[in-house]
Amino acid sequence: MIGLQHYLTVSALLFSLGVFGVLTRKNAVSILMGIELILNSANINFVAFSRYTSAGLDGHIFVVFSIALAAAEAAVALAIILGIYHRLQTIDVDKAQELKG
Protein backbone atom coordinates (compact mmCIF):
# COMPACT_ATOMS: atom_id res chain seq x y z
CA MET A 1 0.00 0.00 0.00
CA ILE A 2 1.57 3.26 -1.13
CA GLY A 3 1.52 5.90 1.54
CA LEU A 4 2.88 9.34 2.34
CA GLN A 5 6.39 8.12 3.11
CA HIS A 6 6.81 6.50 -0.32
CA TYR A 7 6.19 9.81 -2.05
CA LEU A 8 8.46 11.61 0.41
CA THR A 9 11.21 9.10 -0.37
CA VAL A 10 10.86 9.72 -4.11
CA SER A 11 11.01 13.44 -3.42
CA ALA A 12 14.11 13.07 -1.23
CA LEU A 13 15.94 11.04 -3.88
CA LEU A 14 14.98 13.51 -6.60
CA PHE A 15 16.22 16.37 -4.40
CA SER A 16 19.58 14.72 -3.78
CA LEU A 17 20.00 14.02 -7.51
CA GLY A 18 19.27 17.68 -8.23
CA VAL A 19 21.83 18.75 -5.61
CA PHE A 20 24.40 16.45 -7.21
CA GLY A 21 23.69 18.05 -10.58
CA VAL A 22 24.04 21.59 -9.21
CA LEU A 23 27.27 20.78 -7.39
CA THR A 24 29.18 18.90 -10.08
CA ARG A 25 28.18 20.26 -13.48
CA LYS A 26 30.23 22.88 -15.30
CA ASN A 27 27.70 23.87 -17.93
CA ALA A 28 25.34 26.61 -16.78
CA VAL A 29 22.31 25.05 -18.51
CA SER A 30 23.03 21.73 -16.76
CA ILE A 31 23.00 23.54 -13.43
CA LEU A 32 19.63 25.03 -14.39
CA MET A 33 18.32 21.52 -15.09
CA GLY A 34 19.45 20.42 -11.63
CA ILE A 35 17.59 23.38 -10.11
CA GLU A 36 14.44 22.29 -11.95
CA LEU A 37 14.78 18.82 -10.42
CA ILE A 38 15.03 20.37 -6.95
CA LEU A 39 11.90 22.47 -7.54
CA ASN A 40 9.97 19.44 -8.75
CA SER A 41 10.95 17.44 -5.70
CA ALA A 42 9.58 20.15 -3.41
CA ASN A 43 6.35 20.21 -5.45
CA ILE A 44 5.93 16.45 -5.01
CA ASN A 45 6.29 16.97 -1.26
CA PHE A 46 3.56 19.60 -1.23
CA VAL A 47 1.10 17.49 -3.19
CA ALA A 48 1.85 14.39 -1.08
CA PHE A 49 1.15 16.22 2.16
CA SER A 50 -1.96 17.75 0.68
CA ARG A 51 -3.21 14.31 -0.30
CA TYR A 52 -2.37 12.24 2.76
CA THR A 53 -3.11 14.68 5.57
CA SER A 54 -6.05 16.91 6.38
CA ALA A 55 -4.38 19.97 4.87
CA GLY A 56 -6.96 20.53 2.16
CA LEU A 57 -5.86 22.03 -1.12
CA ASP A 58 -3.23 24.40 0.29
CA GLY A 59 -0.44 22.21 -1.08
CA HIS A 60 -1.94 22.36 -4.58
CA ILE A 61 -2.12 26.17 -4.42
CA PHE A 62 1.50 26.37 -3.41
CA VAL A 63 2.48 24.10 -6.30
CA VAL A 64 0.59 26.38 -8.72
CA PHE A 65 2.66 29.33 -7.56
CA SER A 66 5.84 27.25 -7.49
CA ILE A 67 5.37 26.21 -11.14
CA ALA A 68 4.71 29.82 -12.15
CA LEU A 69 7.81 31.05 -10.33
CA ALA A 70 9.92 28.25 -11.82
CA ALA A 71 8.88 29.37 -15.29
CA ALA A 72 9.79 32.99 -14.57
CA GLU A 73 13.09 31.96 -13.01
CA ALA A 74 14.02 29.72 -15.95
CA ALA A 75 13.33 32.56 -18.38
CA VAL A 76 15.49 35.05 -16.48
CA ALA A 77 18.25 32.47 -15.90
CA LEU A 78 18.42 31.65 -19.59
CA ALA A 79 18.52 35.35 -20.47
CA ILE A 80 21.48 35.74 -18.12
CA ILE A 81 23.16 32.68 -19.65
CA LEU A 82 22.70 34.18 -23.12
CA GLY A 83 24.29 37.41 -21.89
CA ILE A 84 27.27 35.49 -20.50
CA TYR A 85 27.59 33.59 -23.77
CA HIS A 86 27.66 36.83 -25.78
CA ARG A 87 30.33 38.22 -23.50
CA LEU A 88 32.60 35.23 -22.94
CA GLN A 89 31.77 32.95 -25.89
CA THR A 90 31.39 30.08 -23.43
CA ILE A 91 29.02 29.03 -20.66
CA ASP A 92 31.56 27.20 -18.57
CA VAL A 93 30.85 28.52 -15.08
CA ASP A 94 34.51 28.16 -14.14
CA LYS A 95 35.39 30.78 -16.75
CA ALA A 96 32.92 33.40 -15.48
CA GLN A 97 35.15 34.67 -12.70
CA GLU A 98 35.33 38.43 -13.07
CA LEU A 99 32.89 40.66 -11.25
CA LYS A 100 33.63 43.81 -13.16
CA GLY A 101 30.95 44.48 -15.77
Partner 1 sequence: MKEPIVSSILFYIFAFLTLGSAFLVVYLNSIMRAALSLLFSLIGVAALYALMAADFLAAAQLLIYVGGILILILFGVMLTQRIYTVQVFAGKSQVIPGAVVSLGLALCLIVSIWSQHFSSQGHLENLPTTGRIGQLLLTRYVLPFEVASVLLLVALIGAAFLARKEVK
Measured from the CB of residue 81, what is the shortest distance to partner 1 in angstroms? 6
Amino acid (1-letter code) at residue 77:
A
Query: In angstroms, what is the minimal distance from the CB of 15 to partner 1?
Result: 7
Tell me the CB-side half-sphere exposure of residue 85, using CA atoms within 13 A: 10
Find the shortest distance in angstroms from Cβ 35 to partner 1: 11
- Which neighbouring-strand residues pair with 27? 92
Q: What is the spatial distance between Cα 57 and Cα 73, in angstroms, rounded to a whole number?
A: 24
Tell me which H or E stretch contains 83.
helix 58-88
User: Least distance in Å: CB of 3 to partner 1?
Assistant: 7
| Cβ neighbours for 3, distance < 8 A, ≥ 6 positions apart | 52
User: Which residue, 19 or 99, has its beta carbon nearer to partner 1?
Assistant: 19
The smaller minimum CB distance to partner 1, of residues 27 and 100, is found at 27
Residues in contact with partner 1 by the rule CB under 8 A: 1-10, 12-21, 23-30, 32-34, 36-37, 40, 43-44, 47-48, 50-54, 57, 60-61, 63-65, 67-76, 78-83, 85, 90-92, 94
Q: What is the Cα–Cα distance from 37 to 29, expressed in whole angstroms? A: 13
